[in-house]
Amino acid sequence: ISREEFRKIGKDTIEYIAEYHENIGKRRVVPAIEPGYLRDLMPHEAPKKPETFESVLEDFERLIMPGVTHWQHPRFHAYFPAGNSYPSLIANFLGDALGTVGFSWASCPAMTELELVVLHWYGKMIGLPPEFLPLTEGGRGGGVIQSCASECNFVSLLAARFEVMKELRKRFPFVEEGLLLSKLIAYCSKEAHSSVEKACMIGMVKLRILETDSRFRLRGETLRNAIQEDRNLGLIPFFVSTTLGTTSCCSFDVLSEIGPVATDNDIWLHVDAAYAGSGFICPENRHLLTGIEHAMSFNTNPNKWMLVNFDCSTMWVRDRFKLTQALVVDPLYLQHSWMEKSIDYRHWGIPLSRRFRALKLWFVIRMYGVEGLQKYIRNHIRLARKFETLLKADPIFEIVGDVQMGLGSEEANQQLLTRLNSSGRIHMVPASLNNRFVIRFCVCAEHATDRDITVAYDIISQTARVILHESVA
């Protein structure tokens, strides 16, 4: 299309988006379609001739929208928030317009430079120790944006594995590497995200999944005992992945206890705060971060709870050289004359090519300001507590776990959740806690209000009462 057409289409598209957001509440939250719905509505061959923007947009509304789950809907309470905001959308748009690819400093210097600055800002905003921050004078720490928390969990495991293997190779130069690898063992709690298990599976190391306490938290003593038992069996403990804000119920592993155990035993402590990490921009939540001074790596997703669109998963390491030593491969065609003085983010993760993701984090932080972001977080926490209060006052519900951030879990039966979701009026997802089926309720919409919470509560409690009534009848 011509530049002139782009000017017009661009404006029309912004108008379409604004209209969509304005009226999103009138739509069903989840679509009423079945797998394969699109196959029968679309041609099975790509068009040979160019089509107009109007015809594509018309089909977007007619064919795609009926299959969309509206994550920004005020009644969407499933999973975690999917970060979304106008500053972030605009930054994405600009980044895409530049069309740059930032695998090395030289491939687009501003991409690397801005990533360093925003990771320094954001790390400071959430209270990480200076050792982790990229611009700390003379420091070895560093920050990087990965595409997702699963990737952060995986690369931290790779770094830890490389580090322990390096030591083992020195200590046992004549023992076959495969044998050494077979002795390694990593730890996490049963509430850790499944990506930790996946990381160990791909990384070919054993994982021991530990029990939590009655508040779904991993405790230091549990880890200490497990390490001792495994050492007695001839295994080599090397990595523990802890979670601040677990997926099922937003519980917090007791980092203040686990940290010293990791340090005493010389194992790599990783902290996965994919959702809850953004909550630390409010100082009143930072007590949950105590013990972070023992961590080797930490991650949180601004694309979950800080209004930044997917993908933007931030990760910090205490020693960047321990991360990159596990990932450096350096062919001639990627080398450049600034390598001594600069950072090449291709050595910090799996992909080579990288989008300009720092831009959206920068736009969001600047256009909301730290205070605006704190206000947003505090509103969500306040509303989650309001929802908790409503349920506590209602004898047919039980709250499972503590409500500390924007998420709570209620025990309920499967029938209730199925009925709520199929009504199209509200969307939540379940979790299993100590083999109990619970429904998670997460405050997700950027501008969520008290009324949104009472409406959600009314829908849930009325539906639950109808089901109870039916079961008695």
| DSSP state letters, 412-471 | --HHHHHHHHHHTS-B--EEEETTEEEEEEE---TT--HHHHHHHHHHHHHHHHHHHHHH
Q: Does 217 help bind ligand PLP (rule: CB under 6 A)?
A: no
Give yes or no for residue 306 binding ligand PLP (CB under 6 A).
no
Min CB(80)–ligand PLP separation in Å: 5
Among candidate residues 123, 55, 148, the one with its CA nearest the CA of residue 277:
123
| Residue closer to ligand PLP (CB basis): 95 or 277 | 277
Q: Which of residues 308-337 bind ligand PLP (CB under 6 A)?
A: 313
Dist CA 145 CA 273 (whole Å): 14
Q: How far apart are CA 358 and CA 67, in angstroms?
A: 31
- CB 91 → ligand PLP: shortest distance, Å? 19
Distances (CA, A) of 223 to 144, 162, 174, 187, 320: 29, 22, 31, 8, 26
- Counting contacts by CB under 6 A, is residue 145 touching ligand PLP? no
Tell whether residue 191 is a contact of ligand PLP (CB under 6 A): no
> Three-state SS for 69?
coil
The rounded distance, in Å, linking the Cα atoms of 43 and 48 is 12
Distance CA 370, CA 400 (A): 32
Closer of 146 and 463 to ligand PLP (Cβ): 146
Site string for ligand PLP, 147-186 (x = CB under 6 A): -xxx------------------------------------
Asked whether position 112 contacts ligand PLP by CB under 6 A, the answer is no
Q: Where do we find the tokens 């030591």?
A: 167
Please say which residue, 104 or 243, places its beta carbon nearer to ligand PLP.
Answer: 243
From 321, 249, 322, 264, select the one nearest 294 (Cα to Cα).
Answer: 264
The smaller minimum CB distance to ligand PLP, of residues 251 and 463, is found at 251
Compute the least distance from the CB of residue 358 to ligand PLP, in Å.
17
By C-beta, is 195 or 463 nearer to ligand PLP? 195
Q: At what angle do helices 255-264 and 220-232 cross, to 10 degrees?
A: 30
Number of residues that bind ligand PLP (CB under 6 A): 13
C-beta of 405 vs 417, nearer to ligand PLP: 405
Query: Considering the rule CB under 6 A, would residue 247 count as an interface residue with ligand PLP?
Result: yes
**Of the candidate residues 301, 324, 409, 463, the single one contacting ligand PLP (CB under 6 A):** 301
> DSSP code of 347?
G
* 253 Cα distance to chain centroid: 17
Q: What's the Cα-to-Cα distance from 420 to each of 82, 211, 423, 461, rounded to whole Å?
A: 21, 32, 5, 10
The minimum distance between CB 157 and ligand PLP, in angstroms, equals: 13
Binding of ligand PLP by 243 (CB under 6 A): yes
Nearer to ligand PLP, 152 or 464 (CB): 152
Q: Which residues bind ligand PLP (CB under 6 A)?
A: 80, 148-150, 193, 195, 243, 247, 272, 274-275, 301, 313
